[in-house]
Amino acid sequence: MVQEEGASSVTSSPLQFLSWMTLSPGLGSPYPWLRELKSEERGLCLIHLLVTCANHVAAGSIENANIGLEHISHLACPDGDTMQRIAAYFTEALADRMLKGWPGLHKALNSTKISSVSEEILVRRLFFELCPFLKISYVITNQAIVEAMEGEKMVHVIDLYSFEPAQWLNLLQMLSARPEGPPHLRITGIHEQKEVLDNMALRLTEEAEKLDIPFQFNPIVSKLENIDLESLHKTGEALAVSSVLRLHSLLANEDEILRKTSPSASKSSNPNQLQRALQMGHRTLGEWLERDMVHVYSPSPDSASASSPLSLSTSPKMSNFLSALWSLSPKLMVITEQESNHNGSTLMERVMEALNFYAALFDCLESTVSRTSLERQKVEKMLLGEEIKNIIACEGAERKERHEKLEKWILRLEFAGFGRVPFSYHGIMQARRMLQGHGYDGYNVKEDNGCLAMYWQDRPLFSVSAWRFRRYD
């Protein structure tokens, strides 16, 4: 927009309005130029509006939050560009959190929601197919299992979240090629839905028969926290444990006392900082979020204590579960987790971390899948959108998506008595060759301290780490 000679910068530049535009109620779309903004500028406007709106939600200012949601609705769109799509799901999550203040209304609006097991299977398979992260996890995990089980005659794998046959179909093929011949393989699959495990059993049994591998699938229909791990394992078996994007759910603690959002976490964003960021040209949304949002939002003082070793023992479920796993003396345990901290004690901590993380994930899809793709829309709405909603709208035991970074998992697992197992050079090269062979541009895997991080551009999104039973001195 060109400024007319003598015109005030406050009245002529759209950027100047961003510090106060969310405070104007019921005006519909008072700034038609918003729709004409370039993608980068519109994206930064949406970030600002989302952060401001989230601050209002955190502070309990429902009227101002409602005004913010109204303005965002004029820019957000579930089938638009990356930031428009993200904004649509973040506003839905913020609105859902607000509605929880009226339990009757919230329950009524969700009373006819149907959860289909077949749709859950479908959407996770679509994520597996559209993004390489699960493929990399399966490749590196299976290679580590084959190496750890060399020479073993009886192998037992406990799959803590058994929903995708592809991982174990690949393992069966790898074991069938062992020079000494395949072992007797038993896989225990854990899932809350019997239909999911029935599908796993059928696919894996067929493949094992085809490859002539002695095989048994042991389905356990249960929540993870209710499993009696000791009853699953038999003497004489070499044990491996696999957890793909599941272990974090045990961090939910129904007995926790929720701390109120601290005043420092509900301060409004700085308009001067936002205007400077908007005028910086073609810097990507991810770069701006990563480098500049720290000036807009500073974590509350109590958030720093969350990374202390003492805080790792605050979840009895997790501590008890890891102790039970340790008592089984596994030769190998491989854990894949989201590489982001979505388990902050305050809403604003989680909003800022989630914006960073999911902006990158949505960008992955934007780079490879058409905006009109029905498959992409299903992954974004039914998987990523539901994760965002759980992170932002839920608290206590209801908040299952408690992702934490690798550094914290390392502390927790070492504290539980496990020792780290570095991934082999061969395993890491297999993962890199898989990316190259499938033409996954923009993705990368990096080894760090024996663990593996999966990157989109320069941002780590998922981590894989391997562990073994270690006796206490």
Mean pLDDT over 105-113 rounds to: 87
Mean pLDDT of 326-353: 96
**CA dihedral defined by 176, 180, 184, 188, rounded to 10 degrees?**
-60
Place of tokens 């129904």: 254
**CA-to-CA distance for 41 and 47, rounded, in angstroms?**
10
Distance between CA atoms of residues 147 and 434, nearest Å: 19
Distance CA 264, CA 125 (A): 41
**% of the chain with per-residue pLDDT over 70:** 79
User: pLDDT value at position 115?
Assistant: 73
The string of pLDDT tens digits covering residues 163-190 is: 999 999 999 999 999 999 999 999 999 9
Q: How far apart are CA 430 and CA 447, in angstroms?
A: 13
Whole-number pLDDT of residue 51: 95
pLDDT given at position 377: 96
How many other CB atoms sit within 10 Å of the CB of residue 11?
A: 9
- Mean pLDDT in residue range 446-456: 93
Q: What is the pLDDT of residues 225-245, one digit of tens each?
A: 999 999 998 889 999 999 999
pLDDT digits (tens, 9 = 90+) for 195-205: 999 999 999 99
Judge whether 194 and 169 are in contact, CB under 8 Å: no
Closest CA relative to residue 262, chosen from 345, 342, 340, 343: 345
C-alpha 71/C-alpha 142 separation (Å) is 48
Q: How high is the pLDDT of residue 14?
A: 40
Q: What is the mean pLDDT of residues 253-263?
A: 45
d(CA 333, CA 339): 18
H helices of 394-446, in order, are: 406-415, 425-437
User: What's the rounded mean pLDDT across residues 62-71?
Assistant: 93
Tokens describing residue 296: 């807009």
**If 0-12 CB within 10 Å is exposed, 13-18 middle and 19+ buried, where does residue 63 land?**
exposed
304 to 300, 311, 386, 413: CA distances (angstroms): 8, 10, 27, 20
Residue range 13-31, pLDDT digits in tens: 344 444 444 444 444 444 5
Q: How many Cα atoms within 13 Å fall on the side-chain side of residue 283?
A: 14
% pLDDT > 90, the chain:
67
Distance, C-alpha 215 to centroid of its chain: 32
- Report the 10 Å Cβ neighbour count for 62: 12
